[in-house]
Structure 1
Amino acid sequence: MKTAKPFLKWAGGKSQLISEIENSLPQDFNKKEFTFIEPFVGSGAVMFWMLNKYPNIKKAVINDINTDLTNTYITIKKNVEAVIQQLNEWQSQYHQFKNDVDERKEYYYEKRALFNTRESDSVVQASLFIFLNRTCFNGLYRVNKSNEFNVPIGSYKTPLICDKENLMEVSKLLEKVEISNGDFEDTLFYAEKDTFFYFDPPYKPLSNTSSFNSYAKDEFNDHEQIRLRDFCKKLNAKGHFWMLSNSDVKGKNPDDNFFDDLYSNFNINRVQARRNINANPKKRGKLNELLITNYTTEVDYAKAI
């Protein structure tokens, strides 16, 4: 049976952390109906996995500050056939230039310029978002202070731009998902009695040159990380369970206790992850990341909430 999977490549995507996330869930997680909320959805790897794995999710809410991203989700949910038709057309055209790098570049940068006008209808704009994601360098999403997508072309000659089968499955799955575009704190509005939050915010950079967190024109800096911690404390006080992932800055600098201090009242677990976004392949590899929860994994979710 086909199951929906992320339709975007995404720096920091959580596909390779799923087993660690599963191991960090409360016990008996599948024993009770609950609401799942993901305030920083990105490519949605955790959301897709959760909805495929746990049929006891009675409601799912995804949110992101990136309007281009959430509009793409909404368009796939409501009008996937039109998106597939558009992507198929562009894929055929792009593949014609597989042996002509200049033509390929011209085509890519024309599409990037069109995307940045943000004047197209929702179908074209969503299709442009996916096209650029599949053809740009390393599938990065990065914008400048003017909110212009500025990632250069990738080296792929015949990338899969239109994955029709998966887009159809994604559209079906999104029928039971509410899609929100706003600040992460706004997601509290959707919380009900039995709610589980998963947070995957833009990671705190491990160095000055490793920041890939410009998913929106406003930077997610240390002040924002602290504001997120305060929101997590609020959720904890209201009795909601949550899990949060972030970079392990202490692994890079043993004296950097930023997250250890910030979340000292909660449970911090260091897990191994593989990161593939460095331009230098030799610098890609395994490193620690953090999974932080306001519960221990021994907690029986069904009884606790």
Structure 2
Amino acid sequence: MKTILRWSGSKTRLLPDLLKSKPKNYERYVEPFAGSASLFFSIEPNEAILGDLNTCVMEVYQAVRDDPTGVHETLCSIPKTKDAYYMLRGLSPSDLTRLQRAARLIFLMKACFNGVYRTNQLGQFNVPMGDKIYSLPSKEELLIAQSLLQRTQLYNQDFSKTTALCKPNDWVYFDPPYKAVKRYRGEYGYESKSHNVLFDELVNDAQRLAEIGCYVTISYAFDEELIGKFCGWNFLHVNARRSVSGSMKERKLAKELIIQNY
């Protein structure tokens, strides 16, 4: 199963390494920074928790869980044109139903520049259209996604509230925003935590989860400070190509870490 959302920072390119390193026996999958949830859709867990502070993202999963046919029909009603993109971008989500908001975000992310989610300080999506519209999820794909999401708890909240729900033998996958990001893109609202605060809280939370018997996996940009925080854990060094830059020449391989306590 492929992810529904196109998303800059998605770990699609790391999936082979993440799948090889998943725990052999776990009871429930937990992803506190869901985003496009590419690993979730790839492993198709029997029981899961997905959480994200981005309300628009979680509304997509809620709408697909409750009415995948309605989401598909709404997507099909959108003309695949530049004019339609900018018309949708200019709409206020508060004027739309949840179903319309979900279809709108799926379409915008499939058509926007590099799959970047960015808002201004008023919460308005302001990414220009890219050079093409990527294929939208089919009705069959949305129905499969519904079957997965119906056995998943969905939460629109801070990651720490999601991890507070964890119990022994859960597999917790952290895919947080990187603290080295130069420009804040408004993914979680401009009043949200700084990346440095988030970094410290995540380290403490991951160690707590390990102590109670969870399997913990973290994917992150190569960071010496982070390595020093997890003495005794296992580290896999991988290379992943960056996809955010506007120039293909600038999309170089970057060092990534997969950190695990098992």
State the Cα distance separating 1:64 from its structure 2 match. 0.6
Alpha-carbon distance in structure 1 between the residues aligned to 2:186 and 2:222: 19
Distance 1:289 1:38, change over 3 A: same
Give the root-mean-square deviation of aligned CA atoms.
2.0
- Identify the residue that residue 128 of structure 1 maps to in structure 2: 104
Secondary structure of the 2:95 match is coil
TM superposition score normalised by structure 1 = 0.79
Alpha-carbon distance in structure 2 between the residues aligned to 1:178 and 1:143: 27
- Identify the residue that residue 143 of structure 2 maps to in structure 1: 168
The answer as to 2:153 corresponding to 1:178 is: yes
Work out which of the two has the higher radius of gyration on C-alpha atoms and give 1 or 2.
1
State the Cα distance separating 1:58 from its structure 2 match. 4.4
Alpha-carbon distance in structure 2 between the residues aligned to 1:117 and 1:159: 22
* Amino acid of the structure 2 residue aligned with 1:215: E
Aligned length: 260
Does the CA-based 8 Å contact 2:68-2:139 persist in structure 1?
A: no
The answer as to 2:85 corresponding to 1:85 is: no
* Amino acid of the structure 2 residue aligned with 1:153: M
Alignment of 1:1-305 (within 5 A): 4-26=1-23, 29=24, 32=25, 34-51=27-44, 57-90=45-78, 93-94=79-80, 97=81, 104=82, 106-114=83-91, 116-156=92-132, 159-205=134-180, 208=182, 211=183, 214-217=186-189, 218=192, 220-249=194-223, 257-295=224-262
TM superposition score normalised by structure 2 = 0.91
Secondary structure of the 1:245 match is strand
Distance 1:199 1:85, change over 3 A: same
Does the CA-based 8 Å contact 1:245-1:290 persist in structure 2?
A: yes
For residues 237-296 of structure 1, give each alpha carbon's deviation from its aligned partner in whole angstroms, at most 9, with x where no partner exists: 2121100011114xxxxxxx322233345333211212222111101132210111122x
Structure 1: state its 5+ residue gaps.
Answer: 52-56, 98-103, 250-256, 296-305
Distance 1:125 1:117, change over 3 A: closer
Does the CA-based 8 Å contact 2:167-2:212 persist in structure 1?
A: no
State the Cα distance separating 1:41 from its structure 2 match. 0.9
Alpha-carbon distance in structure 1 between the residues aligned to 2:177 and 2:140: 30
* Amino acid of the structure 2 residue aligned with 1:5: K
State the Cα distance separating 1:236 from its structure 2 match. 1.6
State the Cα distance separating 1:107 from its structure 2 match. 2.8
- Identify the residue that residue 253 of structure 1 maps to in structure 2: none
